[in-house]
Structure 1
Amino acid sequence: MSTPHVLVVNAGSSSLKYSLVDATTGETPGDGLVERIGESSSTLVHQGPGGGTRTEGAVADHEAAFRLALDAFGEHGPDLAAYDVVAVGHRVVHGGEHFSQPVVITDEVIEAVTDLIPLAPLHNPANLSGIAGARALFPDLPHVAIFDTAFHQTLPPHAYTYAVPRDWVREHGIRRYGFHGTSFSFVSQAAADLLGKPLAEVNLVVAHLGNGASISAVRGGESVETSMGMTPLEGLVMGTRSGDVDPALHAHLHRELGWSLDEIDRILNRESGLKGLAGENDFREVLRLRDAGDPAASLAFDVFCHRLRKYVGAYYAVLGEVDAIVFTGGVGENAAPVRSASLAGLSRLGITVDGTLNEGRVAGPHAISPANSAVAVLVVPTNEEWEIARQSVAALP
């Protein structure tokens, strides 16, 4: 009997990432990425059973990108008709307070996601474009929206509430929402499995570290605190995002330098973080420069790890008891120096890293803490596409 497959879609403002995913096993028979949509020279990289292929040419919009992807499936495989494709699963960044679960997309859902554009002006419009393009080409399949923010709808009021006038929340939705929800959901379950305990019985501090980075306190499978806020700018230092800064910084720069709020926002989102400190947002390059003695890269590394350590300690206090610290994401899974430096000096909390285990290369979920540690330290590769596929199938009527 064939197993259900989901075409998983992640639409950016000028990109379309797609994967055919076995919802049961997580296997990916084919996937691809269309970049520079809307520009004169777009590219498609497609991976099928016979290997990879790359094509170039103008792609006008997301519907045209989907047509290009379908052509690639037809020419290079796998043949979509040979699989039991039961849904198209769409990553949607911001679900606000409306969506705490994945939902089958209807016109009403489209309207609600559109209404949330002010909270995610860079992301939700692109997600909507991807949905529109996919619905046009797959009209007979159910389409499911999986929201980055949904996992964090379990945050208690004292965690999601900012100390601002109450009508800001009621009238404008000003509150903490959190992101990276599909990653946190997948990794939390995988960490519990590695610990050999039911998810409902474990407390975890999970750090998703990539070009975007956030950390969450997860109690019994539910998010009770997270570092990203109303937008993905708050919290940890990231590739190009500043993370936490003094809220008065915007007003100061506006008064002293005459910069517009839009310009300040652009710099904090696109020119700050590791890029602002070291001139590079790729952590591999930051590590290379640090190893070569570059003082700016060394400072960027120290700032990144110091901020992360502060959050680990804070979330330990939030949870009271912690079963494991979990690293995931491209940096979390691959940058051993980050893991050791960010947890250094926490042995009094029962948190230690085994140097040999930390430096080793292991493909799947594994521990890097000494045996019988009071708090396990785990590295768990994330698989957001598989999580979107699983949640899409679960949402079908």
Structure 2
Amino acid sequence: MLVLVLNSGSSSVKYQVRHVSTGSAVGADGAVGADGAGGGAAGDGSSTSDGPEALIAEGIVERIGEGEVTDHVEALAIINAELDETMSGRQLDAVGHRVVHGGERFSEPVLISNEITRAIERLNPLAPLHNPANVLGIRAIEDTWPDLPQVAVFDTAFHRTLPERSWRYAIPNHFYRHYGIRRYGFHGTSVEYVTAQAATLLGTARQDFNAVVAHLGNGASVTAIEGGRSVDTSMGFTPLEGLVMGTRSGDLDPSILLFLQRDGWTADELDRMLNRESGLTALFGSNDMRAIVEAGDDRARLTLDIASYRLAKYIGGYHVAVSGAQAIVFTAGIGENSWEFRQAVAHRLAPLGVKLDDDANRAQADTARVISAPDSALAVLVVPTDEERAIAEATAAVVHAQGC
């Protein structure tokens, strides 16, 4: 089965075709700018939050011709033309959509219908930068390939196993009942995939696997895994809570926002500050971890210190939450590629008996591997994530089950 995996952001559409039986990418992949899609952050909690101009400058998004692509339908037309050139006549069997927020309704991937699309749309208030763009991608596929089965794979679904002690905020219950304000968690598709890979690497059955998984990209989160299931996670009602991220603040005293609002800051200004101008960008002036570790000056050292300290605090807490983790797992761009950041975090975890094998930590590889020393109390792993593969496999499973 050939599955087109789409990650529709508000200012770009990322795509990849996957052959499900082999797990390999087929034909073209990449991203197309869709500047007319409504503004705001591109993609989801793990993707870049820069606009189309920055994406184009970084080579992540192509500029098509002389003008900007104006909407998702136009972006799909360009993707379709690209696929025609590279797939040698092979036809797509289904489309898998990464949908950021599934709310409380969606705990697993589902075959998309008009009713499902409307249900995703009703969740827009919970993810105003994400779900509207996801819906635009779904409707664009309907316009481009009306007979192609579509499946929604939700980033929040893996965290639906959170116990109430983890997901409930200590605020009046009315806010949960009326607005749905609770911890949902994100990066679930990545964390679920990486959890299975990590358990296999250690020769442990997934249902017996306890771990702490750190998904560290421009968006960053950490998840407590007990018995192969998510029992706590750092992102909350939105992807803003938790770790220091590329452009997001992570945890902070909510009274700061009240203080600034009383001083005249608007909701939109605060939103931009917290989501676009904070995190590594605020501390160092760039969200590029490579630039931070290469700089080596006082500002860079402080940035690394703050970010690694925040993560180490979460890992220590989640080690307790799962009654003793067997492993700490690093994944995503920073987690997979920055040995310096892994080293900084592991150094802070020495009281837990964590020790790295320095050579293994520094070695570059694109496979899952153990980087801890033989006498480390906890195994430390680097496991490359492959969300596209996970989405493609989930899509194929739903399509087969529905007999499409």
The share of aligned pairs that are identical, in percent, is: 50
Residues 128-143 of structure 1: pairs in structure 2 closer than 5 A: 128-143=135-150
Contact 1:90–1:144, Cα closer than 8 Å, also in 2: yes
Q: Quote the residue 1:78 is aligned against.
A: 87
How far apart, CA to CA, are the structure 2 residues paired with 1:25 and 1:165? 50
CA distance in 1: counterparts of 2:214 and 2:16, whole angstroms: 25
Whether the aligned pair in 2 keeps the contact of 1:366 and 1:379 (CA below 8 Å) is yes
Query: Aligned partners of 1:42, 1:262: CA distance in 2, in Å?
Result: 21
Which of residues 250, 262, 265 in structure 1 aligns to 2:271? 265
Q: Distance in 2 between matches of 1:44 and 1:335?
A: 22
Residue 31 of structure 2 corresponds to: 33
1:388 and 2:395 matched: no
Q: Distance in 2 between matches of 1:43 and 1:298?
A: 26
What residue is the counterpart of 1:14 in the other structure? 11
- Would you say 1:359 and 2:359 are equivalent positions? no
Q: Give deviations 1:37-81, integer Å, cap 9, x for gaps.
A: 339x99999xxxxxxx97434322101111111111223x023x4
Question: Structure 1 residues 88 and 42, CA, compared in 2 at 3 Å: closer, same or farther?
Answer: farther
Q: Distance in 2 between matches of 1:258 and 1:37?
A: 30
TM-score (norm 1): 0.92
Question: Aligned pairs, how many?
Answer: 380
Within the candidate set 195, 203, 208, 2:202 is matched to 195
More strand by share: 1
Looking at structure 1, the residues matched to 21 and 112 of structure 2 have their Cα atoms a distance apart, in angstroms, of: 22
Partner Cα separation in structure 2 for residue 346 and residue 299 of structure 1: 18
Large movers: runs of 4+ above 6 Å = 41-45
Instruction: Say if 1:235 and 1:44 are closer, same or farther in 2 by CA, change over 3 A.
Output: closer
Structure-1 separation of matches of 2:264 and 2:343: 42
Which amino acid is 2:314 matched to? Y
Q: Which amino acid aligns with 1:262?
A: D
* 1:229 equivalent among 236, 248, 251: 236
Alpha-carbon spacing, 1:327–1:13, altered in 2? closer, same or farther (3 Å)? same
Say if 1:8 and 1:88, in contact at 8 Å, map to a contact too.
Answer: yes
1:217 is displaced (CA, Å) by 0.5
Matched, 1:59 2:62: no
| Per-residue Cα deviation, 1:299-335 (whole angstroms, up to 9, x for no partner) | 1111100000000000001011211100001000000
Match of 1:302?
305
> What is the distance in 1 between the residues matched to 2:23 and 2:391?
10
Contact 1:33 1:44 survives alignment (8 Å): no
For residues 25 and 152 of structure 2, the distance between their equivalents in structure 1, rounded to whole angstroms, comes to: 20
Mapped contact 2:194–2:384 kept (Cα < 8 A): yes
Report the residue type matching 2:398 in the other structure: A
Helix, strand or coil: the match of 1:207? strand
Deviation at 1:86, TM superposition (A): 2.5
Structure 1, 28-37 or 314-323: larger mean CA deviation: 28-37
What does 1:56-135 align with in structure 2 at a 5 Å threshold?
Answer: 56=65, 57-75=67-85, 77-79=86-88, 81-83=89-91, 85-135=92-142
* Residue from 214, 219, 229 that aligns with 1:207: 214
Partner of 1:49: none
Structure 2 unaligned segments of length 5 or more: list them: 38-51, 57-61
Per-residue CA deviations over 1:144-184 (Å, capped at 9, x if unaligned) read 00111001000001100000101111111010000001100
Matched, 1:144 2:151: yes
User: Aligned equivalents of 1:44 and 1:330: distance in 2?
Assistant: 16
How far off its partner does 1:372 sit? 5.3
Find the counterpart in structure 2 of residue 379 from structure 1: 382
Asked if 1 retains the 8 angstrom alpha-carbon contact of 2:34 and 2:75, the reply is no
Q: State how far apart, in whole Å, the 1-side matches of 2:344 and 2:22 are.
A: 35
Distance 2:375 2:394 in 1: 34
Q: Distance in 2 between matches of 1:246 and 1:377?
A: 32
Instruction: Give the letter aligned to residue 189 of structure 1.
Output: A
- Secondary structure of 2:25 counterpart: coil
Aligned partners of 2:112, 2:270: CA distance in 1, in Å? 35
- Report the Cα offset of residue 373 of structure 1: 3.4
